[in-house]
Amino acid sequence: MSSELGVRTDYPIPASRRFRVYAFDPLASTSLDTALVNDAVISLPWEEPWEEPLGKGPSGEYLEVVDYDPSSGLFYEPLDPTASILLAQDGLPPSESRPQFHQQMVYAVAMKTIRHFERALGRKVLWSRRRGEPNDGFVRKLRIHPHALRERNAYYSPDKKALLFGYFKASQTAAGLPDGWVFTCLSHDIIAHETTHAILDGVHRRFIEPTSLDTLAFHEAFADIVALLQHFTMTEAVEQQLAQVRGRLRTRNLLTGLAHQFGDATGRMGALREAIVIEGTGDGTGDKPPKRYADSEEPHERGSFLVAAIFDAFVTIFERRTADLMRLAQTTALGEELHPDMVKRLAAEAMKAADHLLRVCVRALDYVPPIDIRFGEFLRAMITADADLIPDDRLHYRLAIAEAFRRRGIFPKGCLSMAPDSLLWETPDAWDASLAGIYFGDLVPDLDLQTLYSREAIWDQAQKNQVAVWRWLTHTDDMTPEWERMLGIRLGPDAPMTIERSAKTGAPKVEVHSVRIARRAGPDGQDIRQLVVEITQTRRGFFDPEAQARADRGEGDPKALDFIYRGGATLLVDLRASLIRYDSVMKLSEGKIRYAVRKRIDDDRRLQAQRDYLRGGADRDLGFVYFGERDGHEPFAMLHRG
Partner 1 sequence: MAKTTTTVRMYKGLLGDCFLIRLKSGQSVSHILIDCGILQNIPGDKAKMQAVAADVVAATGGRLDLLVVTHEHHDHISGFAHARAVFLEGGLKIDNLWMAWTEKEGDPQADALNLKFNKAKQAVAMAVDRASALAAAGVPGADDIVGGLEAFIGPVDPPGGVLGAAERLTGKVVMRKLKEVTRAGGGKVEFLEPGDVKGTPGAASLKAYVLGPPRTEKRLYHDLPSHHPGKEKETYLDRFSAADQLLSAAEGAWEDGEPERPFAPRHGLTPERVQAGSRPGHEMEEIEQDVDWLKTAYYAAPDWRRVDAEWLGMAGALALKLDSDTNNTSLVLAFEAPGGEVLLFAADAQVGNWLSWHDQTYGPAATAAADLLSRTVFYKVGHHCSHNATLRKDGLELMASPDLVAMIPVVESVAREQGTKGWNMPFPPLLERLLEKTKGRVLRGDQPTDKAAFKKSRVRTGPGDLWVEYDALV
Task: Please identify, among the stretches 55-63, 273-281, 474-482, 591-599, the one whose residues bind partner 1 according to the rule CB under 8 A.
Answer: 55-63
**The only residue of 14, 45, 70, 554 in contact with partner 1, by rule CB under 8 A:** 70
Residue (65 or 371) nearer to partner 1, CB = 65
DSSP state of 172: B
Q: Which residues contact 14 (CB under 8 A, 6 or more apart)?
A: 46
Provide DSSP, 40-59. EEEEEEPPPTTSPPPBTBTB
Sign, Cα dihedral of 291, 295, 299, 305? positive
Closest approach of partner 1 to the CB of residue 599, in Å: 25
In the set 18, 39, 51, 66, which binds partner 1 (CB under 8 A)?
Answer: 66
Which residues in 607-626 contact partner 1 (CB under 8 A)?
615-626
* Count of residues making up the chain: 642
159-186 burial by CB neighbour count: b if 16+ within 10 A, else e?
eebbbbbbbbebeebebbeeeeebbbbb
Q: Which of residues 134-173 bind partner 1 (CB under 8 A)?
A: 143, 145, 147-153, 157, 159-162, 164, 166-169, 171-172
Task: Give residue 179's Cα distance to chain centre.
Answer: 34
- Whole-number minimum distance, CB 617 to partner 1, in Å? 7
Pick 77 or 336: Cβ nearer partner 1: 77
- Site membership for partner 1, residue 183 (CB under 8 A): yes
| One of 37, 228, 354, 637 touching partner 1 (CB under 8 A) | 637
| Nearer CB in complex with partner 1: 152/509 | 152
Size of site (CB under 8 A) for partner 1? 77
Binding pattern for the stretch 238-277 against partner 1, x by CB under 8 A and - elsewhere: ----------------------------xxx---------
Rounded distance between C-alpha atoms, residue 399 and residue 408, angstroms: 14
Give residue 212's region: left, alpha or beta (phi > 0; psi -120 to 50). Answer: beta
**Greatest Cα pair distance in the chain:** 77
User: What's the min distance (Å) between Cβ of 603 and partner 1?
Assistant: 23
In eight-state DSSP terms, residue 211 is: -
Nearer to partner 1, 345 or 611 (CB): 611
In degrees rounded to 5, what are phi and psi of residue 272? Answer: -60, -45
For residue 69, the minimal CB distance to partner 1 (Å) is: 7
What is the DSSP track for 233-270? G-HHHHHHHHHHTTT-TTS--TTTEE-HHHHHHBT-SS
H or E element in which residue 382 lies: helix 375-389
Query: Which residues are CB-neighbours of 371 under 8 A, at least 6 positions away?
Result: 206, 207, 209, 211, 536, 566, 567, 568, 599
CB of 214 to partner 1, least distance (A): 16
Residue 316 beta carbon to partner 1: minimum distance, rounded to whole angstroms = 29
Q: How far is the CB of 74 from partner 1 (least distance, A)?
A: 3
Shortest CB 284 distance to partner 1, Å: 13
> Which H, E and C letters describe 441-504, residue by residue?
CCCHHHCCCCCCCCHHHHHHHHHHHHHHHHHHHHCCCCCCHHHHHHHCCCCCCCCCCCECECCC
**CB of residue 25 to partner 1, shortest distance in Å:** 15
Q: Of the candidates 61, 64, 189, 372, which one interacts with partner 1 according to CB under 8 A?
A: 64
- Determine whether 207 is exposed, middle or buried from the number of CB atoms within 10 Å of its CB (0-12, 13-18, 19+): buried
**Among 24, 62, 76, 107, contact with partner 1 (rule: CB under 8 A):** 76
One of 34, 38, 59, 241 touching partner 1 (CB under 8 A): 59
**C-alpha dihedral sign at 600, 604, 605, 608:** positive
525 sits near partner 1 (criterion: CB under 8 A): no
Q: Which stretch binds partner 1 (CB under 8 A): 65-73, 315-323, 336-344, 492-500?
A: 65-73
Least Å from the CB of residue 61 to partner 1: 16
Of 287 and 341, CB closest to partner 1? 287
Nearest distance in Å: CB 75, partner 1: 5
| Shortest reach from residue 167's CB to partner 1, in Å | 6
Q: Are 28 and 34 in contact (CB under 8 A)?
A: yes
Q: Quote the least distance from Cβ 606 to partner 1, whole Å.
A: 20
When asked if residue 634 is in the footprint of partner 1 (CB under 8 A), the reply is: yes
Binding mask 542-581 for partner 1 (x = CB under 8 A): -x--------------------------------------
638 lies in the binding site for partner 1 (CB under 8 A): yes
Q: Among residue numbers 345 through 404, which ones bind partner 1 (CB under 8 A)?
A: none
**Peptide bond preceding 58 in cis form (omega within 30 of 0):** yes
Any contact of residue 197 with partner 1 (CB under 8 A)? no
Pick the closest to residue 206 from 273, 129, 308, 282 (CA basis).
Answer: 129
Q: Does residue 222 touch partner 1 according to CB under 8 A?
A: no
Question: Could you say which of 50, 75, 431, 453 contacts partner 1 (CB under 8 A)?
Answer: 75
Give the Cβ contact number of residue 624 at 10 Å: 16
CA dihedral 534, 537, 541, 546 (to 10 degrees): -130
Task: Tell me how far apart the alpha carbons of residues 308 and 634 are, in angstroms, rounded to a whole number.
Answer: 27
What does the angle CA 410 – CA 416 – CA 419 come to, to the nearest 5 degrees? 65
Binding mask 477-506 for partner 1 (x = CB under 8 A): ------------------------------
Distance, CA of 565 to CA of 551 (rounded, Å): 13
> In the set 39, 41, 98, 460, which binds partner 1 (CB under 8 A)?
98
Cβ-based nearer residue to partner 1, 20 or 640: 640
Interaction between residue 292 and partner 1 (CB under 8 A): no
